[in-house]
Each structure stands twice: as structure tokens, then as C-alpha cells.
Amino acid sequence: MIRNPILPGFNPDPSICRVGEDYYIATSTFEWFPGVQIHHSRDLANWTLVRRPLERKSQLDMRGNPDSCGVWAPCLSYADGLFWLVYTDVKRLDGNFKDAHNYIVTAPTIDGEWSDPIYVNSSGFDPTLFHDDDGRKWFLNMQWNHRTESYGGAPKHPAFDGILMQEWDAGTKSLKGPIKNIFAGSPLGLVEGPHLFKRNGWYYLTTAEGGTGYNHAVTMARSKSIDGPYEMHPDTHLITAKDAPDAVLQRAGHGQYVETPAGEAYHTHLCGRPMPPQRRCTLGRETALQKCVWRDDWLYLEHGGVVPAVDVPSPGNAEPHAKPKRIDYRFDGPQLPDDFQWLRTPEPERIFSLTDNPGSLRLHGRESIGSWFEQALVARRQEHHSFRAETVVDFAPETYQQAAGLTHYYNRHKFHAVVITWHEKLGRVVTIFSCPGDFPHARMVFPVESGEPVPDGPVHLAMDIRDNDLQFFFRSGEGGNWQPLGPLLDAGVVSDEGGRGEHGSFTGAFAGMFAFDITGRAKPADFHGFVYEALA
């Protein structure tokens, strides 16, 4: 049995690829570095993170990319003895433009070193690469039309101006031949996320439509010729929950087809699991997988209809393995634990070190929390609606311009943080910084004002998130009791729908450690371990 979502927490835009008995899914990482998450499975029910391939400055530099920009909608494929990954690095979100640059990287093995990128085009985002059985390769992406009032939070259909296709020459590493607009989409609109595959002489095109909110859908079309015309699926949409507000998996859309070695059909899609009463998806957009069947050369969900199911049959009746409820991370190795990422910069040595104080994660205070350039924030995805995070920080601030602590973070407009800093009258204090969705100004509030004085030495920090509520805690020394700090805060605002609202941002919530020093002196903060525990 496959239990959805198969990749919980922020894992959107799933592109799936099978090589022999091995399945791989690539998902978007947006402004989080390294770029693109690739998970592996042998049974479609259990998945393990195996690679983040965009790891060098020559491959990806997102300093200055706004929130919810960066790496959008990768497509993973295998041909000619190579893995191929295409992706967009989006440089702008607001206003009429996107500045969406598309690239290709390759590698002989999924876990090996990936090539430097080859620039392809910038006509729109969500690229895909199709390897036809005659050896030709075709590059597709949606076309962005800036001549409308289409911008974050208010998408308009005319901006999504169809799916472009052009031939890719692997020899010259460039596009060639005519550019054709092969698919305008359905009346639902907002066509994006194209993927092509071929079966029984038909070319099948699946696209994402309806925007990445509650009207999202996987739309399907087919043609005998790769450049169309494409006829629409009898139901138009293969997967959608747009007309099923009570379905567990909402916002279903944007995925890709895959077949097992035995010919069984599956289709990935992103989804969201909203929390009542405000229907905010605190886990962001997650990855799910649906079992499908073929009828009359059209693909359908095996269980019928178009609404995605939570539980679907797996090949060979594989069952999902139980995952640990609590993970105690230690920073005693040469690399960060695999679950952790940081923001934007390809020069992580400027923001953290695992060797300066062995056994600890040292963060070098850089720019402010929420900076788009060089922010010392190391975090892991929120994967449960209710969880607890803990860490121990050793930090000796000398001014209120220096701070370090634990944060529940989405972007500069949506975060809560428990902070060790300095107050000119109270000395070293523990306090709270909060930006509860203030768009566009990103103004913070301070629920405990100047904070509580704490003695020298390490300070234990914790936060409990229970659905829509967040409570911070702290204690000093090894024998002290946990003390709550401040009131209950709105954890649900740290979500796709929080603050700016639907379509305004579309990544996910993280729990992590941060430090800043806006004096420019790079004051260090040492973090001794990190705990992530799912709560009932």
C-alpha cells in the first residue's frame, strides 16, 4: 500500500523517472540550497533522499532571489546513459515579469557529480525534456506573457500563454528549428508544468492548470504528432480536488506519468493538506502518487473519478516502513545531516562551520533574518502538523544588533523565532521576534517586548507546534525546568496561505537555527544538536 503523501512537507512539482527497478522523484527547492531534491525508491511506497545535485556556485547562485523564486519545477529523465535534469532559476516574482532562466545538467549516476549547467532559454518556466524513440529530443516550457495584470497572489489566465516546444540538439547543446506553441490548455487556464510521454503511437501531454492553489489540476491531452494538434482527455483533468472541498488531499496537480517494469501505471502530483478552520497548508505542497489504468488509450485513476486517494495499491503489495517519531541530530560529522538546507548562497562556509567548534554547528552571524542575500539560517522541513523542535545555543551577544536562536520559518513575511540577544538595561535576554504575515512591509512584532534575562552559558530553546498553535520554551543550564515564553502564536500563518494569501508564496515551513550580526562583525553562535519530534 502507498500512503500519501509519499514525500511529506515541502516537496512540490514532482517529476518521476524509472531506470530499471529504480524510481527517482525530483522536486522543487525554490530559494533553498542546494537545489532540487531527488528521492529514490524500489517499491514506490518508501522513499529516501539521495541527492541535491545543484550544489556549486557554477551551477546555482540565488543570492538576491526573492522569496518563492529560485529553482522551480525540475524535470528528471534518463537517456543515452545519462541522467538529465532541467530546471528554472526564477529571478523575479512581483510585477509583470518573471525572468525565468532554464538550464540543463547531466550526470552518469544519480549520486555522482552533476555537470555545470547549459543555458537553454528564458521564455517561461516549468521546463521539460522529452527523449523520443527516434533519438530526437524536445524541450518544452510554458510561455509567460507579461502584458497582463498577472503577478503573485492574483494570477490571470492570459499570462500563461501556452506550452512552447523546440528541438534540443545534444551535439551542439543548443535549441534548433522552429518554436511552436503546441497546447493552449483547457478553459481552466493557467497552463504550466508540461510533461510528454509516448505510448501505443500516441504522444501524451500532461500539464498543470488552475494555479497552485485549491483549483489546481493535472490536465491531459494526446496527439498522433508531437507538435499537435492535441485533443483533450474525455474528463479534461486526470487528477484534481477542485470540486471536492472535503477531500484529504487538496491542491492536487502538477505531476508526471511512470510505468513499472510490469507495465502498471502511476502518476505523481503535488498536493496540500489544509488545517481547519482557515484551510492553511502548514506543510506546504507535498508529493503524492496515484495508481492509474488505461482505457481506450486514455489514462484514468484506478479507483475512479479524478479526486486523489490517500491510500493506493503498490507494486508487489509493498508497505510503507514506520519512520522514527524523534530524530536527535548531532553535528559531529564533516557534513550537515541530509535533512538540513540553507538559503540562497552557494558559499556556505561564510554562514556555517562544522569544524570551528567540533561537535557543534557554528553559525556566523551575517545579514538579518529574512535577508535575500546572505542569511545564516540552517533548517529542516516541517513534516507533521504537530511537532516539537529543540536546540542548545551558546551565544554571547554584545549588542542588540546580534541575535541567534530557533525559528519556525517560511519567508521574511512569515516566521516566529525565540532569540538570544542583548538588551542595554537587562543584559543578555531571551525574547521573541515574530512576523505574522505582514505583507508587503515585513514588520516584526515583539510579543514579550525586551524579553527575560538569562545568565551566561548555553541556553536550551524549544518550540511546540500543535496544528495552528505555537508555544516557545527556554531553560538555562542542565538542571533547570522548561519555562514557556510568551503567548501562543499563530503557527498557521507560517504556511502557503498565510499573510499574502493563496498564490502569493508556495514553498513550505521549516524549523531551524539562525544567527545574525548586522554590525558586520560576524559574531558566531554555536548550536549543540537539534531535535525534531512528531507530536500526537
The residues annotated as belonging to the active site are 374
> Which H, E and C letters describe 109-162, residue by residue?
CCCCCCCCCEEEECCCCCCEEEECCCCCEEEEEEEECCCCCCECCECCHHHEEE
Q: CB under 8 Å to 76, separation ≥6 — which residues? A: 15, 16, 17, 24, 25, 26, 38, 83, 84, 85
Specify whether the CB–CB gap between 422 and 76 falls below 8 A: no
Residue matched to cell numbers 512552447: 164
Looking at the DSSP bridge assignments, the partners of residue 156 are none
As a whole number of angstroms, the distance between CA 158 and CA 214 comes to 19
DSSP 304-368: SSSSPPSEE--GGG--PPPPPSEEEE-B-SSS--TTEEEES-S-GGGTEESTTTTBSEEEE-BSP
Task: Give the chain's end-to-end CA distance (angstroms, integer).
Answer: 23
- For residue 5, is the peptide bond before it cis, meaning its omega torsion is within 30 degrees of 0? yes
Count of positions (residues) in the chain: 536
Q: CB under 8 Å to 97, separation ≥6 — which residues? A: 144, 146
Enter the DSSP assignment of 492: G
Pairing verdict, β 361-364 and 459-466: unpaired
As a whole number of angstroms, the distance between CA 224 and CA 202 comes to 5
Residue 472 φ/ψ, nearest 5 degrees: -90, 150
* Cell matching residue 103: 538550464
Residue matched to cell numbers 492570459: 158
Specify whether the CB–CB gap between 46 and 320 falls below 8 A: yes
CA neighbor of 514 nearest in space, from 423, 435, 437, 433 = 433
Specify whether the CB–CB gap between 80 and 134 falls below 8 A: no
